[in-house]
Amino acid sequence: MRPLFAIVVLMMLPLSFAAAQVVGGWKKADVKDPAVIEAADFAVKAQQAALKKAGKDETLALQKIVAAEQQVVSGMNRKLTLQVKSGDQIQSIETIVWTRAWLKSEERSQLSAWKVLETKE
């Protein structure tokens, strides 16, 4: 009976680790982490460049990082909830920045998503 019990325990052990950490899952990140701040600054600058390229004369300014999550991929995804000033409005934004630290600075980060959640006057 003891060997059977030991086998069952050993088989269940990986499940307990899987419950504690989801590989590739999103984890909360500190909004004051320098990498999170860098990703937020990059996101606003990249969206500003995209607006300019589209012929829109809109100025964006980061007001606050509200929340941050990160996901280990081939590099790091950072999902950020930001408050961004756009003209006279404050927008709540959800954005994702993909960062690959080993690349040259101009290729290091990529804006993967930019979604306006709410606009306040």
The pLDDT averaged over each successive group of 10 residues in the chain (121 residues) is 56 49 83 97 97 93 98 95 95 97 88 95 83
Percent of the chain with pLDDT over 70: 81
User: Environment class of residue 13 by beta-carbon count within 10 Å: exposed (0-12), middle (13-18) or buried (19+)?
Assistant: exposed
CA separation, residue 84 to residues 16, 39, 110, 115 (Å): 41, 14, 19, 12
pTM: 0.79
The encoded tokens of residue 80 equal 């950020």
**Residue-level pLDDT at 26:** 96
